[in-house]
């Protein structure tokens, strides 16, 4: 329930803050159980790992639990060292955040001032827009082309006020990718005072051989910040830990604004363990690869349009009755993500789950469509 706007407190709040529409995440399982009285709930809304967290991460948390009275390592030294070793970069090229979305917030706070512009696809991850608004920046949206980011449109939108270009790759919520040739074109035509943010939250799921190796441009000293996370394939969404890779000068600047102790101790030890658990990553990727094909086949049989994806979610066109379909699924204990906030009111975004979860979704969707 929204608060009434007649309270004098609102006069103390800057207008640009009042205009912000807060980010609304996927419904929690507990909320659906409370509101609808459903005992068994399947959450296919927030692109979490269907296999759960790495067993090594769980054990690491148990082993460290007795030390949580101590403050965490503020610099996340050992986690950064492990990430650096894994990626083949220096630890000074890495900053760790309370989820990669915290790093997005740090980036906009530093590089966006009133009147500066940030370019992003439309639709794309909503936090780019929100964080730009918080810094009083101007949002420049470029419509997607065939559900993918349009490099020509982005380049044509550049001005002397452009400071940031957000590239969600794979793009959330469509699951499409910007290919290496397209990213190369963007980097080559980048003005000196502009930074590309390549948000690669789902990069481990990508199978396309033309997916760009953005770390190459980091090593060349280009103005690019690569974002990655432990929330998706590593299954640590509840711990909030992500990271960015960039040239050392950029990382040094970001660290000036990074809050102290921003990544808790349990998140750090779990992330280190998860990073080394390649078996879990491979199993997770194989599951998504296999289950995507299953869902594609089922959706085609139902004649329901969808966008082929390089991530662990699928954008599905459900038509004018999408709100009713979402509610009907909720009543059956299935949480999916409505796309109205992304200007796609006739679509849902479905996280790829286990076979049992996917079969349940398809069965209930079919029942709803046949009514």
72: Cβ–Cβ under 8 A, 6 or more apart, which residues? 261, 263, 264, 265, 268
DSSP state of 246: -
With a pLDDT cut of 90, the percent of the chain lying above it is 89
**Residue in the block written with tokens 């998860």:** 274
Indicate whether 20 pLDDT > 90: no
Q: How confident is the model at residue 18 (pLDDT cuts 50, 70, 90)?
A: confident
* Residue extent(s) of CATH 3.90.1150.10 domains in the chain: 8-52+279-369
* Residue extent(s) of CATH 3.40.640.10 domains in the chain: 55-276
Q: What mean pLDDT do residues 320-343 have?
A: 95
C-beta separation of 237 from 267 below 8 A: no
Degrees, nearest 5: CA angle 83-196-91: 20
Inter-residue long-range contacts of 137-144, CB under 8 Å, 24+ positions, other chains counted: 137/108, 137/112, 137/113, 137/163, 144/171, 144/174, 144/176
Q: How confident is the model at residue 29 (pLDDT cuts 50, 70, 90)?
A: confident
Q: Where are the beta strands (DSSP E) in the chain?
A: 42-43, 94-97, 117-122, 138-143, 162-168, 195-199, 224-229, 242-245, 306-307, 313-317, 334-335, 337-338, 347-351
Class of domain 55-276: alpha beta
C-beta separation of 365 from 304 below 8 A: yes
C-beta separation of 212 from 180 below 8 A: yes
CATH code for residues 8-52+279-369: 3.90.1150.10
Q: How confident is the model at residue 13 (pLDDT cuts 50, 70, 90)?
A: confident
pLDDT digits (tens, 9 = 90+) for 188-221: 999 999 999 999 999 999 999 999 999 999 999 9
pLDDT digits (tens, 9 = 90+) for 111-153: 999 999 999 999 999 999 999 999 999 999 999 999 999 999 9
**Residue in the block written with tokens 């101590």:** 70
Rounded Cα–Cα distance for residues 106 and 226 (Å): 14
Q: What mean pLDDT do residues 236-258 have?
A: 98
Rounded Cα–Cα distance for residues 24 and 43 (Å): 15
163: Cβ–Cβ under 8 A, 6 or more apart, which residues? 111, 112, 116, 117, 118, 137, 193, 194, 195
Token pair listed for 77: 């030294």
pLDDT value for 3: 63
Concatenated DSSP letters for 143-173?
E-BTTB--HHHHHHT--TTEEEEEEESS-TT
pLDDT value for 220: 97
Bridge partners, residue 164, by sequence: 118, 195
pLDDT value for 323: 96
Indicate whether 1 pLDDT > 70: no
Rounded Cα–Cα distance for residues 259 and 339 (Å): 32
Rounded Cα–Cα distance for residues 350 and 143 (Å): 22
pLDDT value for 23: 66
pLDDT value for 14: 86
Concatenated DSSP letters for 106-135?
HHHHHH--TT-EEEEEES--HHHHHHHHHT
pLDDT value for 257: 96
- CA-atom Rg of the chain in angstroms: 21
pLDDT value for 38: 82
On average, the pLDDT of the chain sits at 95
Q: What mean pLDDT do residues 251-276 have?
A: 98
Q: What mean pLDDT do residues 270-298 have?
A: 98
Token pair listed for 114: 């009133």
Cα distances from 196 to residues 84, 129, 155, 253, 319, in angstroms, run: 21, 15, 12, 16, 35
DSSP state of 40: S
Q: What mean pLDDT do residues 152-160 have?
A: 98
Q: What mean pLDDT do residues 252-264 have?
A: 97
pLDDT value for 2: 57
Interior/surface letters 46-57, b for 16+ CB within 10 angstroms, e for the rest: bbbbbbebbebb
């Amino acid at each position: 329930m929204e608060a009434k706007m007649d309270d004098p407190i609102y006069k103390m709040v800057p207008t640009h803050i009042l205009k912000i529409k807060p980010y609304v995440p996927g419904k929690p399982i507990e909320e659906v159980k409370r509101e609808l009285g459903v005992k068994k709930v399947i959450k296919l809304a927030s692109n979490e790992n269907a296999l759960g967290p790495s067993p090594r991460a769980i054990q690491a948390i148990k082993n460290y639990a007795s030390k949580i009275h101590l403050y965490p390592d503020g610099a996340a030294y050992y986690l950064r060292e492990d990430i650096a070793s894994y990626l083949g970069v220096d630890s000074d090229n890495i900053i760790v955040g309370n989820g990669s979305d915290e790093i997005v917030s740090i980036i906009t706070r530093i590089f966006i001032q009133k009147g500066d512009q940030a370019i992003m696809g439309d639709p794309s991850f909503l936090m780019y827009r929100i964080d730009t608004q918080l810094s009083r920046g101007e949002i420049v949206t470029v419509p997607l082309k065939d559900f993918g980011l349009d490099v020509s449109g982005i380049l044509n939108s550049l001005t002397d006020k452009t400071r940031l270009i957000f590239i969600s790759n794979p793009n959330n919520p469509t699951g499409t990718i910007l290919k290496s040739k397209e990213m190369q074109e963007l980097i080559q035509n980048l003005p000196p005072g502009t930074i590309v943010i390549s948000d690669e939250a789902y990069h481990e799921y990508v199978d396309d051989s033309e997916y760009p190796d953005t770390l190459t441009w980091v090593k060349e000293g280009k103005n690019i910040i690569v974002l990655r996370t432990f929330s998706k394939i590593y299954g640590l969404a509840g711990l909030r830990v992500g990271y960015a890779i960039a040239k050392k000068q950029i990382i040094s600047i970001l660290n000036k604004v990074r809050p102290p102790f921003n990544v808790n101790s349990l998140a750090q030890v779990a992330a280190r363990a998860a990073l080394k658990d390649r078996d879990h990553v491979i199993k997770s990727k194989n599951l998504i690869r296999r289950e995507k094909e299953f869902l594609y086949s089922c959706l085609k049989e139902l004649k329901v349009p969808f966008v082929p994806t390089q991530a662990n979610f699928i954008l599905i066109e459900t038509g004018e009755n999408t709100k009713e379909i979402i509610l009907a699924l909720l009543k059956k204990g299935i949480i999916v993500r409505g796309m109205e906030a992304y200007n796609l009111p006739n679509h849902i975004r479905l996280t790829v789950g286990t076979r049992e979860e996917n079969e349940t979704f398809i069965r209930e969707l079919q029942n709803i469509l046949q009514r």
